[in-house]
Amino acid sequence: MTTDLAHALDRLPRVALATLPTPLQEARRLRDALGGPARCPRILLKRDDLTGLALGGNKARKLEFIVADALQAQATVLVTTGGVQSNHARMTAAAARMVGLGASLVLTAAPDERDVQGNLLLDRLFGAEVHFIDAASDPLLATGPDEAAMLALVEAELRARGERPYVIPIGGSTPVGAVGYVSGTLELLSQLEAADERPSRLYVACGSRGTVAGLVLGAHLTGAPYRVHGVAVSGGDPAKTGRAVEIANQAAALLGSSLRLTPGEFDTDQSQIGAGYGRSTAGCLEAIELLARNEGILLDPVYTGKAMAGLVADIRAGAIGAAETVVFLHTGGAPGLFAHAAELTAAAGQPAVGQPAG
């Protein structure tokens, strides 16, 4: 089955943007900090923060297929949307430059969030046109209410200038993009087989759900030993789970598969959202510190910090047996750390779990 799937993937247009394969490594010191072998499962980190494109992240896998589709459509500029510190926007701008296209970004931000730092600084360095919209009144949501209207306006203005825009939904969450994580599943399974590992769970941050759609589809198409556990970083369920099902099923069709998923195949932990999208929690800040001080690896306050907080909470609650092995998919996001300097500095005043003071 995996051979047929690999052939189906090879038939789809793809542009090389990422440094692959990314490493799979065991977080031994993190395990010790969480209670050691008596209390904590083995934790394998799939390092998609090291995909290379514009400081790395999971979006590189999606963009390899999305940008190829844009080039086939003879686009001249990529247009996408996200929060002001969007990793997807940053990587889309970089991908556009790599293939000679322009980039136009619609970013959601309150007026006091528009300082040029973190991902926004990189957007500017890549020469992307940036259009701001105000944040939603509901802090749980990732984008503002004027997103669709601004996207339509930007697209119309680009066409009036003679450009051919290719609009990418938030997070690159399309069936074409999800195929990137079906391909990523094959890569991960090859590494697990080589290491003789059979993890029971895979943890990943859930935002716009395109990554988790590809992961769940990939797991079902390949008979992967693990179940995908998404950790939500923003509100919007059950509609977002419905969207993930739709994306996954359309991606399956692109690959020539008759498999169709249902909402029951998607596990999403809603406990780590906190006050809303882009707003860190105590658990998130602790998780960032845990991995930084025990493994020398950076998480971010928007996505991976909350996802790791979900894994840590499950370990402490005994929801995962100490004899199990789990995979944590590190989806990147380190540039966003610099937009949260004050809260991270305050949180770093205390030693991480498992570390002595001083």
Q: Which of residues 148, 172, 196 is at a domain's end? A: 172
Q: Give how many domains the chain has, as a whole number.
A: 2
What is the three-state SS of the chain? CHHHHHHHHHCCCCCCCCCCCCCEEECHHHHHHCCCCCCCCEEEEEEHHHCCHHHCCCHHHHHHHHHHHHHHCCCCEEEEEEECCCHHHHHHHHHHHHCCCEEEEEEECCHHHCCCCHHHHHHHHCCCEEEEECCCCCCCCCCCCCHHHHHHHHHHHHHHCCCCEEEECHHHCCHHHHHHHHHHHHHHHHHHHHCCCCCCEEEEEECCCHHHHHHHHHHHHHCCCCEEEEEECCCCCCHHHHHHHHHHHHHHHHCCCCCCCCHHHCEEECCCCCCCCCCCCHHHHHHHHHHHHHHCCCCCCCCHHHHHHHHHHHHHCCCCCCCCEEEEEECCCHHHHHHHHHHHHHHCCCCCCCCCCC
Q: How far, in Å, CA of 211 to CA of 125, rounded?
A: 26
Q: Which of residues 150, 172, 194 is at a domain's end? A: 172
- Looking at residue 358, its pLDDT comes to 38
244 and 319 in one domain?
yes
- Looking at residue 1, its pLDDT comes to 65
118 and 35 in one domain?
no
Task: Provide the whole-model pTM.
Answer: 0.93
182 and 240 in one domain?
yes
Residue 285 tokens read as: 């800040």
- Looking at residue 142, its pLDDT comes to 65
337 and 225 in one domain?
yes
Q: Which of residues 114, 146, 172 is at a domain's end? A: 172
352 located within any domain: no
353 located within any domain: no
Nearest to 116 by CA among 124, 104, 108, 105: 124
- Looking at residue 113, its pLDDT comes to 83
299 and 212 in one domain?
yes
* Domain containing residue 126: CATH number: 3.40.50.1100
69 located within any domain: yes
186 and 168 in one domain?
no
**What domain range includes position 87?**
59-172
- Looking at residue 341, its pLDDT comes to 85
154 and 112 in one domain?
yes
Q: What is the C-alpha R_g of the chain?
A: 20
140 located within any domain: yes
- Looking at residue 38, its pLDDT comes to 96
- Which residues are the active-site residues? 86
144 located within any domain: yes
Q: What is the pLDDT along the chain (358 residues), one digit of tens a residue?
A: 688 999 999 999 999 999 999 999 999 999 999 999 999 999 999 999 999 999 999 999 999 999 999 999 999 999 999 999 999 999 999 999 999 999 999 999 888 888 899 999 999 999 999 999 988 766 666 666 788 899 999 999 999 999 999 999 999 999 999 999 999 999 999 999 999 999 999 999 999 999 999 999 999 999 999 999 999 999 999 999 999 999 999 999 999 999 999 999 999 999 999 998 888 999 999 999 999 999 999 999 999 999 999 999 999 999 999 999 999 999 999 999 998 888 888 877 654 444 444 3
- Looking at residue 140, its pLDDT comes to 64
290 located within any domain: yes
186 and 328 in one domain?
yes
275 and 263 in one domain?
yes
User: Under 8 Å CB-to-CB from 306, ≥6 apart: which residues?
Assistant: 205, 231, 233, 272, 273, 274, 280, 281, 283, 284, 287
354 located within any domain: no
240 and 317 in one domain?
yes
181 and 166 in one domain?
no
38 and 98 in one domain?
no
318 located within any domain: yes
